[in-house]
Copies of this chain bind each other. A is one copy, B any other.
Amino acid sequence: MADDASPEDHHELWLDDIEVGSHYRTDEYVVTEDEIVEFASRFDPQPFHLAAAGAAGTLFETLAASGWHTAAITMRLLATSGIPIATGIIGASIELAWPTPTRPGDVLHVELTVTGVTRSRSKPDRGFVTCTYDTLDAHDIVRQHTTATLLAFTRPVAT
């Protein structure tokens, strides 16, 4: 949650409430070798994501998580302990890169900074929040860098 957020607003940020420069740090997520292999078996069955032996002689050298696994864990951290947008975290567009791969035993967290808030001209009940976030291991090595545009809604008017 935001460094200066009070508990009661944790799940209640409307577009009106979101400020450029706000910073959020999520909880942590421990990545096991078993989970890396299980995710890769389902969604990214390439040798370097499935076994240490398959990574030997490749760019990765040892077992490396699928980047999409890192992305999924990043989403979990944001959804459960990241920026508490009242209507949820709804991605409109995403840019991401994986400077280094997630490894077995990594303890990941995400640090997010809001870089822009724009209200829609055509639909005044909504707007866009741009933010950048890094998924970091315990030594603050960047496993994923993301720039996202999120959809958010203005506070409903009481009727």
B44–A76 touching, CB < 8 Å:
yes
A94–B97 touching, CB < 8 Å:
yes
B46–A76 touching, CB < 8 Å:
no
B151–A73 touching, CB < 8 Å:
no
CA distance A156 to B42 in the complex (A): 30
Most chain B beta carbons < 10 A, residue from A75, A89, A95: A75
CA distance A47 to B80 in the complex (A): 12
Which residues of chain B are within 8 angstroms of A88 by Cβ–Cβ distance?
Answer: 46-48, 58
Given A75-B66, A93-B97, the answer on whether A80 and B45 have CB atoms closer than 8 Å is yes
Q: How many copies does the complex hold?
A: 2
CA distance A72 to B67 in the complex (A): 9
Q: Mark A35-60, 1 if CB is under 8 A from B, else 0.
A: 00001001111111000000000110
Interface size on A, residues (CB 8 A): 33
B95–A91 touching, CB < 8 Å:
no
Q: Separation in Å of the A67 CB from the closest CB of chain B? A: 6
Q: Separation in Å of the A85 CB from the closest CB of chain B? A: 10
Given A95-B93, A97-B93, A98-B91, the answer on whether A43 and B72 have CB atoms closer than 8 Å is yes
Provide a sorted-by-A list of 19 A–B residue pairs whose CB atoms are within 8 angstroms: A42-B72, A43-B72, A44-B72, A44-B76, A45-B76, A46-B79, A46-B88, A48-B88, A58-B87, A59-B151, A66-B75, A67-B91, A67-B94, A68-B71, A68-B72, A68-B75, A93-B95, A94-B94, A94-B95
